[in-house]
Structure 1
């Protein structure tokens, strides 16, 4: 049992002053077999604390259905940290941001058209209470007051950047305390007047999030937190990537210099991120600060962090370690002796796709159709992630007219009689295509991809699919057949020979290997889609870049035959992929 608390302007643990040098490591972005490796490297860098968010949507994928196994086994993660004698900061607030799908909120909340988010709205609070009834007792037993590693928990995340409902924040605080949370509680916000005013809670430690200018940032924090230790809860030492933009990097010397300033100020620091990991599956988020300026986050969450996406130390790791060693008056070599050996990598070479299954021929095998007069968004048909297909019949003949998708979220492929017509994207201002309907009419089919719900800012309420109807000219089109396509179960697909065409298709291959090792799937020559290895969704690829390869951790592979499935929306130069030992995060896969 230990007591972590605030005394005047310092943290203490069992009455002894302690400075927190923490790093963010998200268990939900790393395969469990690698958790201990990442935590060992954190400690070997000189850190004494690990911080993690807790994503609600990862633990309650459907209302009342909870998951705490595999990558969601947070208790296993906490035990690993405890075994390495690391403190743990947990941020279990309903909303986490984190460039994670919907900021960690469950998509099924949006099935209720009246739902209000992140405020004192009883239906929202009722769902939080049910979730906390499951989650918080699992965390409470790992608190330092119970002999565990957890020293602090967050009430809400950067709430001042969203709202100012103090009643809601107080409710969350009491929800935690009433369920046995008795460690230090805190909030974190950007260092501005509005953000600290909106996000702070009386009697709860306020911390600040920033990536530079520590002197002025801490000075602003001091205006609102007159006493207590200074802490940067998120030191943004890197940044995340959007599709179609360059891979973000930041010079190691600059990161080390700002970090050194914070240590000299006597502050505690949490590196966001220390190790980013991967947005496996469909869990990447998106940003949308202006209504139509939608930018989905890439699959890689490398973040240009001290440990790269694969868990290997970078120049930034060395620079940060040297700063810590210098302030401690010791050599960084002492701690580096704890570093585990690098994971083995393998280049398994070229793999030919051996079978193909056309999506439109498999719709009824993949899902149960829903009949509706209007195109319904995903949430209204009980779907959270993936794709959704809308089909209707248009009478003909009709001359060339404009097809309007009044609101598509996020990317629609349009087909007339199964012939590809074009793409309509939320991220562009152009929301129409010209189509012509022959005599006898035509089947209109629209395949929409959820590219990731907005995770930050004013457009958080982000329903997916077609949300405001479809028009041909001025005429709304009614009577739709809807196929929800979460693509979480592909065993029902019926494959045939590989053929050349431009329709969305699944391609399957077998990869025999002697020894599993970390590897990367190079998607050069493919256009856009998703890759599965042994049933595990690795995430999205897109020839817009910057990410060209998908990371495959060795634990996802097995000795013997491995199944690889690629769902390609458009087409490829050749029906083959290449497994390499080199990760490419700053390029395009058009080669």
Structure 2
């Protein structure tokens, strides 16, 4: 593979002028059996490069455990890109934002009560150095300097929006170099933050989605020499629960792209293909109000969530063709889709009733946070004994992020961080009754100072002004559904319930799980965690990748946190529903 260099005006590849035409494609948001398809379509749109973040929290779920296989086999993804004739831009963090859980920072860092993330806190830097060595050592053969496709590596991510400690950024760059990264390094920041996040002798790039010529002129004024590049050209946006699905007019986005390329600059689309926040991996924002991101990361990209070309694919390819060769091949047709209507979920298991089958409880004087329980995602069930009878006022110092409260198994209310709720009045039917609080991690904050986002019940829990002590904290990550005692019952479930059903498939294909009439929870197909569902929208369906299905009998499980479903049904349809749009 050729080696990337820079001169006074631009990039050189093997000594020849080169323009990066890149698109974001996060391997961890795409089923691994679909990587080759998405990479092929990137080349067909006219791209010569793909960019990916690296989620530290998935690769190193615990300090002594590192994962680099299966859906996290980054070396294989890079090899597939090379086989397609594509270069790679690697963005390993340690912080990635990406609307990803915690910005990619592993939750176990927050077990240290006073740790300062993205700073020169020695504990954080030691963890980063260890992560880089574990991740990048196997990737060194894939650097362009060793004949591989990885042309350049990013230092941190939009650090200028967080801090201005140049010594911290220098440590990150030095750590990459110590591991053996000898290809060009680069930083990326929004134009207003450029100087705060930049490093001497490291390529600075800008992130924006409009006014391309203006922002690139601003970049040139601050960096008189070297390539002009936007590492994130925002051609869509992400969605949050309770809002509308954000889209951007393809023609308007194409005009902005034309303006950008006319300057001679290089570009990385954010995103070329967004993919999906499978399982519990979505992030959240908290600018005085907590706002969790939805499961879909469609991002109104050139390839939609199912990998089919959308309107922007053709619009962008036509613009790219004005500046670079584009493969003389037709736009790929949409892939086959599957419909299986009215699948009945005939078996159920009460989450609170059968919780002992899922995880042991930990006894303590106060509720333990998820981080103290060594838990990344999912739920925690807190239990204690009520010391009184009659009217009672429950007060929780901090709910992270959504708490359902039960007394002797009956729901009495919900406390939501998003609504700044901290107190709840209820009636205790008897002294010695059981108080249960089911707390959901709806996504750790992925941007700004709020990344220090511990989950569960934080601080004191008061009942009529007196602190409740003597708790059992039970982690429910729901990483596997094995051991759950599903059964057919005539009784309508009360409270959070897992529902299971089966359906037949002749030939697997992509499909979308629709949950009309359901309220809130999560869903799995054949044990694969599809993500969260919530009737508040905008998203009304969950993407099911074809490789998750099999010919013959398939299983679907839906966790419903609220409504009692007796003869529950779901539909698998050929089309997605991401909700009403907002431009």
TM range (shorter): over 0.9
2: CA distance, partners of 1:238 / 1:500: 43
Mark the CA change 1:479 to 1:231 in structure 2 (over 3 Å): closer, same or farther. same
Mark the CA change 1:351 to 1:11 in structure 2 (over 3 Å): closer, same or farther. same
Please state whether the residue corresponding to 1:33 is helix, strand or coil: helix
Partner of 2:521: 529
Mark the CA change 1:572 to 1:251 in structure 2 (over 3 Å): closer, same or farther. farther
Partner of 2:569: 576
The answer to whether the 8 A contact 1:45-1:335 is kept is no
Partner of 2:304: 308
Find out whether 1:448 has 2:442 as its counterpart: no
Please state whether the residue corresponding to 1:127 is helix, strand or coil: helix
Please state whether the residue corresponding to 1:89 is helix, strand or coil: strand
2: CA distance, partners of 1:365 / 1:180: 46
Find out whether 1:467 has 2:458 as its counterpart: yes
Partner of 2:495: 503
Q: Deviations over 1:53-88 (max 9, x none)?
A: 011011011112011111100111101110111111
The answer to whether the 8 A contact 1:421-1:435 is kept is yes
Partner of 1:559: 551
Once the two structures are TM-superposed, the CA of residue 442 in structure 1 deviates from its matched residue by 1.8
The answer to whether the 8 A contact 2:348-2:499 is kept is yes
Q: Deviations over 1:515-537 (max 9, x none)?
A: 11111110110000000111111
**1:13-32 aligned within 5 A:** 13-32=13-32
**1:169-318 aligned within 5 A:** 169-192=169-192, 195-290=193-288, 293-318=289-314
The answer to whether the 8 A contact 2:495-2:564 is kept is no
Please state whether the residue corresponding to 1:469 is helix, strand or coil: strand
Please state whether the residue corresponding to 1:241 is helix, strand or coil: coil
Find out whether 1:478 has 2:469 as its counterpart: yes
Please state whether the residue corresponding to 2:357 is helix, strand or coil: helix
The answer to whether the 8 A contact 1:37-1:340 is kept is no
**1:319-398 aligned within 5 A:** 319-328=315-324, 334-337=327-330, 340-398=332-390
Mark the CA change 1:431 to 1:495 in structure 2 (over 3 Å): closer, same or farther. same
Once the two structures are TM-superposed, the CA of residue 340 in structure 1 deviates from its matched residue by 4.8
Partner of 1:431: 422
Once the two structures are TM-superposed, the CA of residue 408 in structure 1 deviates from its matched residue by 0.4
1: CA distance, partners of 2:428 / 2:70: 50
The answer to whether the 8 A contact 1:144-1:183 is kept is yes
Please state whether the residue corresponding to 1:172 is helix, strand or coil: helix
| TM-score, scaled to structure 1 | 0.96
Once the two structures are TM-superposed, the CA of residue 443 in structure 1 deviates from its matched residue by 1.0
1: CA distance, partners of 2:564 / 2:303: 33
2: CA distance, partners of 1:246 / 1:345: 25
Partner of 1:154: 154
The answer to whether the 8 A contact 2:81-2:88 is kept is yes
2: CA distance, partners of 1:515 / 1:251: 35
The answer to whether the 8 A contact 1:5-1:11 is kept is yes
Please state whether the residue corresponding to 1:509 is helix, strand or coil: strand
Q: Deviations over 1:481-525 (max 9, x none)?
A: 111000012111112224323310111111221111111110110
Equivalent pairs counted in the alignment come to 579
**Which has the larger displacement, 131-140 or 236-245?**
131-140
The answer to whether the 8 A contact 1:289-1:458 is kept is no
Mark the CA change 1:548 to 1:435 in structure 2 (over 3 Å): closer, same or farther. same
Please state whether the residue corresponding to 1:218 is helix, strand or coil: helix
The answer to whether the 8 A contact 1:357-1:506 is kept is yes
| TM-score, scaled to structure 2 | 0.97
Structure 1: segments with no counterpart, 5+ residues: none
2: CA distance, partners of 1:570 / 1:439: 24
Q: Deviations over 1:540-564 (max 9, x none)?
A: 0000001111000110011111111
Partner of 2:578: 585
The answer to whether the 8 A contact 1:527-1:572 is kept is no
Please state whether the residue corresponding to 2:194 is helix, strand or coil: helix
Once the two structures are TM-superposed, the CA of residue 572 in structure 1 deviates from its matched residue by 5.5
Once the two structures are TM-superposed, the CA of residue 199 in structure 1 deviates from its matched residue by 0.5
Once the two structures are TM-superposed, the CA of residue 587 in structure 1 deviates from its matched residue by 5.1
1: CA distance, partners of 2:294 / 2:329: 32
Once the two structures are TM-superposed, the CA of residue 363 in structure 1 deviates from its matched residue by 1.4
Partner of 1:120: 120
The answer to whether the 8 A contact 1:49-1:88 is kept is yes
Once the two structures are TM-superposed, the CA of residue 376 in structure 1 deviates from its matched residue by 1.1
Q: Deviations over 1:31-56 (max 9, x none)?
A: 01111111111111111110000110
Q: Deviations over 1:221-272 (max 9, x none)?
A: 2232121010011000000000111000000011000000111111101000
2: CA distance, partners of 1:490 / 1:185: 43
2: CA distance, partners of 1:39 / 1:343: 15
1: CA distance, partners of 2:106 / 2:62: 8
Find out whether 1:544 has 2:544 as its counterpart: no
The answer to whether the 8 A contact 2:492-2:564 is kept is no
The answer to whether the 8 A contact 1:395-1:437 is kept is no
Find out whether 1:420 has 2:414 as its counterpart: no
Structure 2: segments with no counterpart, 5+ residues: none
The answer to whether the 8 A contact 2:81-2:87 is kept is yes
Once the two structures are TM-superposed, the CA of residue 396 in structure 1 deviates from its matched residue by 2.2
